[in-house]
Amino acid sequence: MKRFQLLLLPLLALLFLAACESGGSFRVINQTSYPVYVTLEDADEVAIPGGTEHSFAVETANQHILNPDVSVEVLVRLIGETYQIYDEGNETYTDTTRIEIKAGQTTTAYINPNRASFKVVNASSQAITGATLYKHNFVGVVADHDLGPIAPGSFAFLPVEYASSNNNFYYYANVRLEDGSTYSYGGPTNILDVDQQFLITLSDPE
């Protein structure tokens, strides 16, 4: 009997170790046409191009037969050029949420477009001091947003509302440079649908 117990102990220990799992993953599948930008907790931001996916490794405590339900809650900042998290409780868009990651499992987020987008790329040698987007309902301006300063070699974007048959409007924009010059873009034909982008790329004159 003692010999049987001695043989059983290593077997139980092996079973215990084999059942141990730690760590889970968060998989983001970007089904929009444009990048999605994701940050987990205080880690570096990851840009996930449109039509691609990325998996994040998340540390958890060890899961084993005596502690089978191991999980960790993670703060996620996730914003796409044509996607924003919609908080149904508060009926508003947000850039952050919290998700539960279970040990040994993958939590998957399918990112489907739910916004249009305004993006300004500064490919010039001057700083952009302001880039103001105007929403016009063919009667007058009903909203405006300013992306603020944009340094040379960088960009800024803003997810925005898209037009529909019940809510028709167009966008135009004014971009101001540090030398005081202003450029205008867009107009009555610039009507955006979901997953469409109003893109302005500013370069130096040749």
Three-state SS for 54?
Answer: strand
User: Which residues make Cβ contacts (< 8 Å) with residue 186, sequence separation at least 6?
Assistant: 170, 171, 172, 173, 198
pLDDT digit string, tens, across residues 172-188: 999 999 999 999 999 99
Residue 12: count other Cβ atoms within 10 Å of its Cβ.
10
* Dist CA 111 CA 79 (whole Å): 10
The domain made up of 116-203 has a fold known as: Immunoglobulin-like (2.60.40)
123 Cβ neighbours under 8 A, 6+ residues apart: 152, 153, 201, 202, 203, 204
Domain 21-111 coded CATH 3.30.450.70: no
**83 within 8 A of 37, measured Cβ to Cβ:** no
- Summarize pLDDT for 82-114 with one digit per residue, the tens: 999 999 888 999 999 999 988 888 999 999 999
Q: Where are the domains of the chain?
A: 21-111, 116-203
Q: Please tell me whether residue 152 adopts helix, strand or coil conformation.
A: coil
Give per-residue pLDDT as tens, 22-50. 678 899 999 999 999 999 998 999 999 99
Task: Compute the distance between CA of residue 145 and CA of residue 204 in angstroms, rounded to an integer.
Answer: 25
The pLDDT of residue 13 is 47
Topology match between the domains 21-111 and 116-203: yes
pLDDT averaged over the chain?
A: 88
